[in-house]
């Protein structure tokens, strides 16, 4: 059994004696605190923190991280407080322990909420000290190694959480050794039979190809020696989940995946890395398009290496990675290499950049946290943000930005700054104007065009993929909706108050304050927003504000509506994007007679006056609002058309050309075949208003083979 003496011997290789003694003291403190507690396996509980500290020792973490590993469960599982740990071991260690501890004093609705709240707490602690997440990863790794004593359903739940969050975080921070083991242990817990079959197949395949591996490895090493290049060649093994994902996602058989031979060449300098690349390309021909230079452009987690694929003996593919010893340490330990450097184990500060990138990532998490509606939304953003495949985009000044695969110009804008994202209106990709939704490719130069009054568009949520962009857009839209709801609420309430010959401006502050206290709202803005979003009726609020004596309710409502209507309808101009929306059942257009319905959470929904759905809504007349169109409307509005046509070649192109010439755009088009001779074309076009639509329909009717044209309803 592994003991504290074994750990102390291992720490002697890189820590001074006084720091090792502090780690010992933390162990004895934890041993006493956990006295009498056992794990499900029956072992004394203190074996777990000791094993976590051993994992961190393998990464050459500092003594405070090791002390925190020893103590990480005492707050959660014993009567020891944070203050007691701070008194005994210092504030830094207490902060690490508290950051890793779960929120045990709060009862949550379900495990998902508890998981999300605990993760939020950990992110806050990470922002103070990034070592929190490294201790947590080591804790999770040992828990995954000892899952055997748990029920199968609990195993699967913990394994899924590990795959979705902790393995991805390890990858994001470049700690590859922990990521690979977490992924394989999770795979074995979720799919034990599949994992076992792949493991046996891998063992058989390695036995069959051992001589080939040795032959290729010796050939590569000989070439390096002949060219006087310093480097050692080692075989590279694929891990279980990687094999399974390739079989599942790429529909490849096991034999095809194992046919690829992987090698890593470790050298002493960047200069020699490129020389070795030339040597292996002289030995075996490279596969076109399969070379990647992650030394010149590192991955977001700091990973650096040269990757190339070669045609080996008999045409078999060989994947080769070439990097320096420092890059190898970085690839395996990621951000933890920062402490390995501080312990004097490397020649130069290879991990300083990685440490800065990790802090930048944590700052991004904190920004997402501020924008998220709740902890569940936040953790969903984090999961989406942890996919590793990146594209590298150049700014007009030549700086490089890393973005996930499939990212768009809007993602790029928000990665530069939230204000840039909120105000972007267009972009130039390689100096050419392009849609904001265009997926970006590595090597492109991107310029964002902004405008002072611009606002985020709801449609952006359909194509942005980064969590930062998604959370920032939602946050901006919520603020925009509230601002517009307050403005609309003010118009509705003033209109209602006009029936009582008063207004918000002339009401006494005491009366408004008294009403806010009565209905438990904090501010006038909250009151106006609730009216604008339809959760509170303007006329009822107006009556309470003027404090009129209650009369017969039916007569009072009728009198109120008569007075309110005398103040004229509300004027709409189509630009009220959040507080006023247009019904998709009747598609109202400017110049159509319209009426508004106050819908809870949406504000005013505009319907055509003859809309069939209004029959149900007329039962609640207090929620109907008289509306009229402004004379100055520049927005385009969608309208569906149903056109009977005689089937013939080229008709759709002719329709599209005519509509475009009439200064309208086609939003959607579809065709239904009625019979061999006739078809129905369903068009949704964007028009300025009813007059514009009438002009288009008139031109369409002049076409041959066109039958009936109907303005459709849904």
Burial class, 88, CB count within 10 angstroms (exposed 0-12 / middle 13-18 / buried 19+): middle
- 91 touches 64 (CB < 8 A): no
Nearest to 220 by CA among 277, 305, 293: 277
Of residues 40, 242, 55, 72, the one with CA closest to residue 147: 40
The token pair that represents 553 in the structure block: 């309710």
Is the C-alpha dihedral spanning 340, 346, 348, 354 positive or negative? negative
Q: What is the rounded distance in angstroms from the CA atom of residue 479 to the CA atom of residue 460?
A: 16
| Helices 47-58 and 17-33, packing angle to 10 deg | 150
Q: Is 494 left (phi over 0), alpha (psi -120 to 50) or beta?
A: alpha
Q: Looking at 77, 164, 447, 576, which residue is catalytic?
A: 77
Distance from the first to the final alpha carbon of the chain: 72
- Tell me how crowded residue 173 is: count the other CB atoms within 10 A of its CB: 26
The total number of residues written for the chain in this structure = 714
Burial 565-592 (b: 16+ CB within 10 A, else e): eeeebbebebebebbbebbeebbbbbeb
In this structure, what token pair is assigned to residue 115?
A: 């998981």
Closest CA to 267 of 320, 216, 328: 328
Residue 367 a catalytic site member:
no
CA 556 to CA 428: how far, in whole Å? 60
Q: Which long-range contacts (CB under 8 A, 24 or more apart) does 370-376 make?
A: 370/475, 371/471, 371/472, 371/474, 371/475, 372/471, 373/474, 373/478, 374/116, 375/113, 375/116, 375/117, 375/119, 375/120, 376/112, 376/113, 376/116
DSSP state at residue 347: S
C-alpha–C-alpha distance, residues 446 and 429, integer Å: 5
Antiparallel, parallel or unpaired: β 292-293 and 580-582: unpaired
Chain center to CA of 61: 30
Measure Cα distances from 295 to 347, 501, 534, 619 in Å.
Answer: 18, 74, 57, 69
Nearest to 30 by CA among 77, 86, 91: 77
Which is nearest to 413 in space by CA: 395, 386, 398? 395
The question of whether 672 is a catalytic residue gets the answer no
Query: Given strand 603-608, what is the order of strands in its sheet?
Result: 570-572, 624-629, 594-599, 603-608, 580-582
Selecting among 19, 43, 76, 402, the annotated active-site residue is: 76
Enumerate the active-site residues: 76-77
């Amino acid at each position: 059994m592994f003991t504290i003496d074994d750990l102390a011997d291992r720490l002697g290789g890189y820590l001074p004696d006084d720091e090792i003694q502090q780690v010992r003291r933390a162990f004895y403190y934890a041993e006493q605190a956990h006295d009498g507690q056992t794990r499900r396996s029956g072992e004394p509980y203190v074996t777990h923190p000791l094993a976590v500290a051993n994992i961190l020792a393998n990464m050459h973490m500092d003594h405070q991280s090791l002390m925190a590993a020893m103590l990480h469960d005492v707050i959660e599982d014993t009567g020891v407080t944070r203050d007691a740990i701070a008194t005994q071991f210092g504030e830094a260690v207490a902060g690490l322990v508290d950051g890793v501890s779960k929120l045990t004093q709060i009862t949550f609705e379900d495990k998902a909420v508890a998981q999300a709240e605990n993760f939020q707490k950990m992110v806050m602690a990470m922002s103070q000290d990034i070592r929190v997440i490294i201790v947590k990863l080591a804790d999770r790794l040992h828990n995954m190694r000892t899952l055997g004593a748990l029920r199968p359903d609990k195993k699967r739940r913990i394994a899924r959480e590990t795959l979705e969050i902790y393995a991805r975080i390890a990858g994001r921070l470049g700690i590859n050794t922990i990521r690979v083991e977490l992924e394989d242990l999770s795979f074995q817990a979720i799919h034990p039979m599949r994992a076992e079959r792949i493991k046996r197949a891998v063992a058989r395949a390695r036995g069959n190809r051992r001589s080939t591996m040795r032959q290729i490895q010796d050939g590569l090493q000989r070439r390096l020696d002949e060219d006087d290049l310093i480097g050692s060649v080692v075989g590279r093994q694929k891990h279980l989940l990687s094999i399974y994902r390739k079989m599942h996602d790429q529909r490849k058989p096991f034999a095809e995946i194992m046919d690829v031979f992987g090698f890593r060449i470790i050298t002493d300098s960047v200069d020699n890395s490129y020389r070795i690349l030339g040597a292996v390309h002289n030995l075996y021909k490279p596969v076109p398009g399969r070379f990647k230079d992650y030394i010149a452009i590192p991955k977001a987690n700091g990973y650096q290496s040269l990757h190339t694929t070669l045609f080996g003996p008999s045409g078999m593919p060989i994947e080769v990675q070439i990097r320096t010893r420092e890059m190898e340490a970085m690839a395996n330990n990621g951000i933890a290499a920062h402490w390995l450097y501080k312990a004097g184990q490397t020649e130069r500060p290879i991990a300083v950049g990685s440490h800065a990138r990790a802090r930048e990532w944590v700052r991004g998490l904190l920004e997402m946290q501020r924008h998220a509606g709740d902890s569940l939304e936040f953790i969903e953003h984090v999961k989406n943000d942890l996919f590793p495949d990146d594209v590298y985009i150049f700014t007009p000044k030549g700086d490089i930005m890393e973005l996930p695969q499939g990212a768009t110009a809007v993602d790029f804008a928000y990665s530069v700054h939230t204000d840039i994202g909120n105000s972007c209106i267009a972009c130039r990709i390689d100096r050419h104007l392009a849609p904001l939704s265009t997926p970006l490719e590595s090597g492109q130069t991107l310029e964002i065009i902004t405008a002072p009054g611009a606002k985020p568009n709801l449609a952006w949520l359909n194509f942005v993929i980064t969590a930062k962009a998604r959370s920032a857009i939602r946050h901006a839209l919520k603020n925009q909706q509230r601002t517009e709801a307050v403005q609309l609420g003010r118009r509705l309430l003033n209109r209602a108050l006009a029936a009582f010959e008063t207004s918000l401006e002339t009401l006494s502050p005491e009366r408004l304050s008294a009403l806010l206290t009565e209905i438990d709202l904090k501010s006038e803005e909250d009151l106006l927003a609730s009216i604008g979003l339809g959760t509170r009726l303007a006329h009822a609020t107006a009556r309470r504000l003027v404090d009129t004596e209650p009369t017969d309710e039916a007569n009072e409502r009728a009198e109120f509506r008569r007075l309110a209507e005398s103040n004229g309808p509300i004027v709409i101009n189509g630009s009220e994007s959040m507080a006023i929306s247009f019904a998709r059942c009747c598609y109202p257009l400017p110049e159509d007679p319209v009426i508004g319905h106050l819908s809870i959470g949406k504000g005013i929904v505009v319907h055509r006056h003859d809309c069939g759905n209004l029959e149900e809504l007329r039962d609640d007349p207090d929620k109907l609002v008289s509306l009229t169109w402004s004379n100055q409307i520049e927005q385009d509005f969608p309208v569906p058309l149903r056109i009977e046509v005689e089937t013939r070649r080229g008709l759709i192109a002719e329709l599209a050309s005519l509509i475009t010439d009439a200064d309208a755009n086609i939003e959607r088009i579809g065709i239904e075949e009625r019979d061999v001779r006739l078809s129905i074309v369903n068009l949704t076009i964007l028009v300025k208003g009813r007059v514009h639509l009438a002009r288009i329909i008139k031109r369409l009717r002049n076409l041959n083979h066109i039958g009936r044209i109907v303005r459709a309803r849904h």
